[in-house]
Structure 1
Amino acid sequence: MTHDLRSYWGFGITPFGKELAPSQLHRHKAHAEAVARVSWCIRERGLGVLTGEVGAGKTVAARTAVSGLDPSRHTVIYIGNPTVGGTGIYAQIATALGAVPKVHRHALIAQAQELLAAEEHERGRLTVLIVDEAHLLDAGQLEDLRLLTNAEMDSHAPFAALLLGQPTLRRKIRLGAFAALDQRITMRCTLAGMTAEETKAYIGHHLGLAGRSDALFSDDATALVHQVSRGLPRAVNVLAIQALTAAWAKGQSMVDESAARAAVAEVTGE
């Protein structure tokens, strides 16, 4: 089916996929600002919090920012599932830095701190710790992350850390119980959805990557996709590919509003 869809529309690749190099990503305003803020946070060895709705592009923004780092001077540790617990996060850090994780929690915390310091002082590399889905972190894990930032009597940070999560993460950290962690945050950024104009440009950009530079989506179709997706890139991707499929099934030469409505019904069930 995928091959047939590409053949029908004359695509070299299936559009709206997530397997894109950072240089191929669409640079809308919110994405560019998030990348700039994350890059600044890394340079300053800070603790950053990047929040946004599901599908807003938080992970993509972080991936874009770290893609520009010198691999000989940086070590990136990505934790995609924070539900492994505080000791699980420490163990992943130790493993990523080439050590066998200690068994006991307190020894593991000290080990992780020592490894992070050694990565900088002995190897000349700054570690960048990225915790995705960070809204799932519980109180104990957030406290463990704060303890991890305690280094050299708060005079120096041996690593940069970035927490990516849904808006609940921002609200959770603001609670009084996490005041010590909240005070350590040097970068806060909320990733908003695209504007209607940006959504149109985004669709055109991805179609262009697939090999079509002409306007395949009517203005009404694009407006409907933007309205339903709220400008969130992942939702735009899903609706756009479904709209292309609906138009193909009808033998249309472009995606009109009826094809977009068929996509909405398929995706939302309404």
Structure 2
Amino acid sequence: MIEKLQAHYGFSKMPFGRDLAPGMLHRHQSHNEAVARITWCVTERSIGVVTGEVTADRAALAPILLALGHTDEADHLLHNALNQFQVAFGPVHYDIAVTLNNLAAVAHRQNQLDQAQSHLQRALTIKEILLGPDHPDLAPTLTSLATLCRLQHNPQAAMRLYERAREILDATVEPRHPTLNAIRAALTEQKPTE
């Protein structure tokens, strides 16, 4: 059987053998991700890539396309990336959160504010699960949600979100950090005049 595989695929030597290091024999995350990708390709009878690099590259291209005004193309790339990431990684993975943030930007550009809010809420939930409730990477998502709440005429929710982002960044970044300064400015604008 091995000879048939070598002949069919043109291997000059076996890509694996009994000389594997013991540390390579235990299951780890990259193995699980590869199995998920291969399983998807087999069940869907589709040609696929075993690494996620192509999907990640396309997802990274989408914000550039959005900035250039190619909203539909960005939306298409991001939805495809989201589907592929979910198949490969399951429902909770950092790349999924990033993709959801970018989909929220697309939805905002298309004036689909409820959809944008839904994407941001899900991204925030994923980040909280993966990183914890006080990680500084939550601040951009919190700030985006706050801005969206402000646009939807919900200043109380916007204030709560801006405050949470400020508290997280106050504890983790320098006092003059640009994101922290932007949040402080937004909080000042949001405060009701008496």
| Structure 1 length-normalised TM | 0.22
The structure with the greater share of residues assigned to strand is 1
Higher relative contact order (CA 8 A, sep 6+): 1
The structure with the greater share of residues assigned to helix is 2
| Structure 2 length-normalised TM | 0.28
